[in-house]
Amino acid sequence: MTSPQPVALVTGASSGIGAATARRLAAAGYLVYGAARRAERLEELRGDGVVPLVLDLLDEGSLTTAVKQIREDTGRLDVLVNNAGYGSFGAVEDVPLEEARRQFEVNLFGLARLVQLSLPMMRSHGTGTIINVSSVAGKVAGPLGGWYHATKFALEGFSDSLRQEVAPFGVRVVVVQPGAIKTEWGAHALDSARRASGDGDYAHRVEGLARGILNPAGVQRRASGPEVIARVIERAATSSRPRTRYALGHLAWVGLFGRRMLSDKLLDQVTGRIMG
């Protein structure tokens, strides 16, 4: 039996952008599955009409089971919001390749597998929207974020190809590029940078990062709330003709404008100042 309600799956729904998006889509009339690795962090979403769904992007069995549950429960999937991901920072020289590979597995390959599993339901109904949460960091790179930037640059290209492939089936692909957002992401990124490079030859760059883009009293204090991104995700999900990209949040347009207008060397200087 096919659900009369439109159905959405939101990954990374335990906090930040994912939690705000899950709540917003539920309020807009969607049957929302809010997915994350830790079940206990999803329970508070029940009161907002969100169905908690345990999902681990590193586990093929978890991915297939989650999509199978949605298919059996509802018979449809109208919106997939790929929001889950993390930023592991540190100098390229210092970050173990094992950690670099893990970041790709979470930020790109796990996401891509979820897309593969979800597309048959969307194609069978001739409609659907896949929303990939990238970052301004998918267009503008800075020091100590090489592996994180690599995953987001890759996600941008992946999304462009996917958009062209699935358009004939009525499926839309949208990229959302947040700037600085008030979530747990910044603290985790800074912790990882300190673990990888805080005591070595790049320690001065790590402390510059702490004073610059990841400074709680500076850029992060002025960062936009996750609801800003949740609103635009809802707009993209409910539109019959969404834009291919939405960039918003503190410093988003500044970064993208700089990427278009400045030479690499000049942008390096500007980014270096912003990042300390």
Which residues are tagged catalytic? Answer: 148
Task: State the residue for tokens 């597995």.
Answer: 105
> For the chain, how many residues are written?
276
C-alpha to C-alpha distance for 108 and 157, rounded to whole angstroms: 11
**φ/ψ of residue 53, rounded to 5:** -140, 115
C-alpha to C-alpha distance for 237 and 264, rounded to whole angstroms: 35
C-alpha to C-alpha distance for 139 and 149, rounded to whole angstroms: 8
Q: How does DSSP classify residue 90?
A: S
Give alpha helix (H) positions in 28-143.
60-74, 97-104, 110-125
C-alpha to C-alpha distance for 215 and 180, rounded to whole angstroms: 11
